[in-house]
Amino acid sequence: MKMSATTVRRGLYGMFAGGLLAFGSAAIVTPVVNAQPAPSQDTSCSVSAIATTSSTVSASTSSYLASNPEANEALTQIATQPQEQATEAFRAYFAQNPQVESELKAINQPVTEISSQCGVELTPTPISAALTDA
């Protein structure tokens, strides 16, 4: 059965919403780093494996930023700047906030791995692109 990226993304969002309802505030208390996506069982370079990795990392990044409103606000402001200014601003932000950088790098690790393994450039979010430039 073939599943589109939209179907996978909707399923991930549904699982996330269900998890929040099931665990209530405990989901917020649990360190977000533990919410990083599990390594994919499909280690091939198929388009479906790349799309699954991209959507999983995107959903995890979204969840992380939603639970860290200060980081979300700061990174959102940076992302609206012109490219050269944004690159420098991301570097400066991550230098001042190494824990945020570390946690986001952990969430984005599957993208780094599949990009390297498959020789593709994959940046599912502006944060993914910023982390490769930082």
- The pTM for the full model equals 0.64
Placement of tokens 């209530």 in the chain: 24
Query: Is 97 a domain residue?
Result: yes
Q: Domain range holding 74?
A: 47-133
How many domains does the chain fold into? 1
Six-digit token string for 3: 């599943």
Query: Is 27 a domain residue?
Result: no
| 86-109: pLDDT as tens digits | 999 999 999 999 999 999 999 999
Output 81 or 8, whichever has higher pLDDT.
81
Query: Is 56 a domain residue?
Result: yes
How high is the pLDDT of residue 4? 52
Query: Is 85 a domain residue?
Result: yes
Query: Is 28 a domain residue?
Result: no
How high is the pLDDT of residue 2? 53
How high is the pLDDT of residue 31? 44
| 12-27: pLDDT as tens digits | 555 544 444 334 333 3
In sequence order, what DSSP letters do the residues of 21-79 get, joined into one string? HHHTTHHHHS-GGGGSPPPPS--S--HHHHHHHHHHHHHHHHHHHHH-HHHHHHHHHHH
Placement of tokens 């990174």 in the chain: 75
Q: What is the distance, to the nearest Å, from the Cα of residue 58 to the centroid of all Cα atoms in its chain?
A: 4
Query: Is 29 a domain residue?
Result: no
Q: What is the CATH number of the domain that holds 61?
A: 1.20.20
